[in-house]
Amino acid sequence: MTLFSAGMAIISGGSKGKAGKKKAAGGKSKQSNFWASQQLAKQKAYEKKSKKYKLPLEELAIFTQQLCSLLTAGLPLVQCLEALQDQTEDQVFRIVIRDVRAEISSGNSFSDSVKKFPRAFNTLFISMVEAGEASGALSEILGKVAEYFESSVRLTKKVKSAMTYPIAVIGLAVALVNVLLIFVIPVFADMFADFGAKLPAPTQFLIDLSDFLKAYILHIIAGCVVMWFIFKKIIATPKGRDIKDRVLVKAPIFGNLIHKIALSRFCRTYATLVRSGVPILRTLEIVSSASNKVQIEGACLEIAKHVSQGGQVSEVLASNTFFPPMMKHMVKAGESTGNVDGMMNKIADFYDAEAEATVAALTSLIEPMLIVFLGVVVGGIVMAMFLPIFQLGAVAGGLQ
């Protein structure tokens, strides 16, 4: 019986071991199936997003520069795209490159392939690719457009870095003031209520403002959100956009900077396209869409109409108040020497330097202004709340 029991135990243990292994294998299989389904779902989401994916200008500049370098090294276009597809970390853009490469492999041109992704590749990039294919100098033209993108990104980064500090400080100040008004001032209000005397006007104003915020803070937040959406809808209309652009250019502090950046972008885009062999009317169309300013869009329409009738660009600029006199004279000199694109590049360099100097000046000016702003706001709140304590005798019962 003992040998029989031991044998049965061994057989039973072996059966349980096999069953346990099968169970473990089944668990691993289910886990692998789960991860496979997750990866498939992610891939489908990337595929769907790639159709309307908007590629940041910085990423487009890197892609253009790398493509230019690979083409200059003598690699075929399809092989260049395959290399860029493998090395990019953006999963959605990787699918875009894959689809562009597939379109080229099936016999379509590079320009026709990137046209199917207008949000990933902007109008300027597509037009420069068309010009490069027509002239047979695709790598050289891609190098020019990469330099243009890099200069635009560099200037944008400088402006954003200059604006980050004041926006952060103002946001912190707003948050601090709201905390004081909603949570701290009611404590003082309860203490002052026990005195039974009339409070100083600044203190009473802060207490009333605190009561108002506590009662209507959610309504205020909801109202701000609604007003923001209404504002976005208004500036999306042609009339609203026209008003917005004109107000921005005439703004007291940042208007001059916005104006210089717009002029620099106009000149740089125009020079890059003309130097690459893009026809003048197509150049004006691209400059208009890339400017994002109604003043430049209107000027481009006037220039296109005037040039098609045999006129010159400088004649339209001379009659448009958006363009400064210096720019008009330099463009006219470029037309007389047959070097408009070179003169436009010099103008763009000048306004880039001016914009950078303006950003530096604003940065040095904003810091003390913010310190004064914080001192006045926070210090004013503190002084208003401690004013009754300084006048404690009068507030407590008129003992003076």
Q: What angle do CA 227, 230, 233 make, to 5 degrees?
A: 155
pLDDT of residue 287: 87
Average pLDDT over residues 363-387: 83
Give the CA distances from residue 244 to residues 100, 176, 227, 347, in Å, rounded to whole numbers and listed in that order.
37, 31, 16, 26
b/e per residue 215-247 (b: at least 16 CB within 10 A) = eeeeeeeeeeeeeeeeeeeeeeeeeebeebbee
160 pLDDT higher than 80: yes
The alpha-carbon radius of gyration of the chain (Å, integer) is 33
b/e per residue 184-202 (b: at least 16 CB within 10 A) = ebeebbeebeeeeeebeee
210 pLDDT higher than 60: yes
Instruction: Tell me 181's DSSP state.
Output: I
Give the domains, in start order, of the chain with CATH numbers: 57-121 (1.20.81.30), 146-400 (1.20.81.30)
pLDDT interval class at 393 (50, 70, 90): low
Average pLDDT over residues 53-81: 90
pLDDT interval class at 13 (50, 70, 90): low
User: Structure tokens of 48?
Assistant: 């769907």
Token pair 């990866």 is found at: 39
Mean pLDDT of the chain: 82
Contact predicate 300/283, CB 8 Å: no
> What is the rounded distance in angstroms from the CA atom of residue 398 to the CA atom of residue 32?
81
pLDDT of residue 66: 92
> What is the rounded distance in angstroms from the CA atom of residue 247 to the CA atom of residue 393?
52
Average pLDDT over residues 226-235: 91
pLDDT in tens, 24-34: 555 556 666 66
pLDDT in tens, 239-274: 888 888 888 888 887 888 888 888 988 898 888 888
98 pLDDT higher than 80: yes
Tell which wins on pLDDT, 222 or 254: 222
pLDDT of residue 11: 46
368 pLDDT higher than 90: no
